[in-house]
Each structure stands twice: as C-alpha cells, then as structure tokens.
Structure 1
C-alpha cells in the first residue's frame, strides 16, 4: 500500500534538499538525518563549493566520523 506524501511535507523536503539554502535537520534516531546531511555536503562539493565554506555540525565524534566516511566514500 502506498501512502501519499502530504504537499506541505514534500515542499519542506524540497527546501531542505536545496543546497542554496541553510537547513536545520531534526528528527528521530534512524530517520535518515546523516544521509540527508551527507548528500547535501556531497552536492555542494560537486557543485564546486569551497570545502572551507561548508559548516557541518554533529553532536558526537562518532557521528562526525560516520559523516566523513559517507562523504569521502561516495
């Protein structure tokens, strides 16, 4: 069974995925926050953004290591 994504949710996701804008990602554990953040960083780098201009924050060193692995293994 497919569940439609509400239009306001789809619009919010579209804004959050646009690297031209800043985004705050807050969600439950296991919901894909790290994936979303890693994809944004990768998209910025592929579009030629200077890495020194990207600020990517995590709460733990383990999360930072995970983020680094995801970005640099892509």
Structure 2
C-alpha cells in the first residue's frame, strides 16, 4: 500500500530540489532525501549546468549506490 505524501512535505521537497535555493536536508531514513537530491541534480542538468560542476555527498554506501543509478 502506498501512502500519499503530505502536502507540506511535498512543498518542502519542492523547495529543497530547486537549485535557486540553498538547502540543508536532514530527515529520517526513507523520507526522500536522496529523491530530493536527484531532483535537484536533474534540474541543474536540464538548465545546462556542466556535470563536472555538480558534487553530491552522502554518508552511506546505500545512498551512494542509489545516487549513482
């Protein structure tokens, strides 16, 4: 069963994924941090940012594997 994302969470994720904003994302496991980061990178690439200018950091191998896919 999928649960809907609360509107305040969706709004926060949208703000954090916007490259025009600075963002510090800290949340529990499974809350969508890596998804937000991926959305941010996609927006940067679609806006013409050179991929060599993008740095993504994570503290876990699982998140690193998820980001590399």
- Please give the root-mean-square deviation of Cα atoms over the aligned residues, in Å: 3.2
Conserved 8 A contact 2:18-2:43: no
TM-score, normalised via structure 1 length: 0.67
Q: Give the total of aligned pairs.
A: 69
> After the TM superposition, which parts of structure 1 deviate over 2 Å for at least 4 consecutive aligned residues?
1-15
**Cα deviation 1:20-54 (Å, max 9, x = unaligned):** 23311110111111111111111111111011111
Q: Which moved more, 1:38-47 or 1:13-22?
A: 13-22
Structure 1 residues not aligned, in runs of 5+: 70-74
- By how many angstroms is 1:15 displaced? 3.5
TM-score, normalised via structure 2 length: 0.71
Structure 2 residues not aligned, in runs of 5+: none
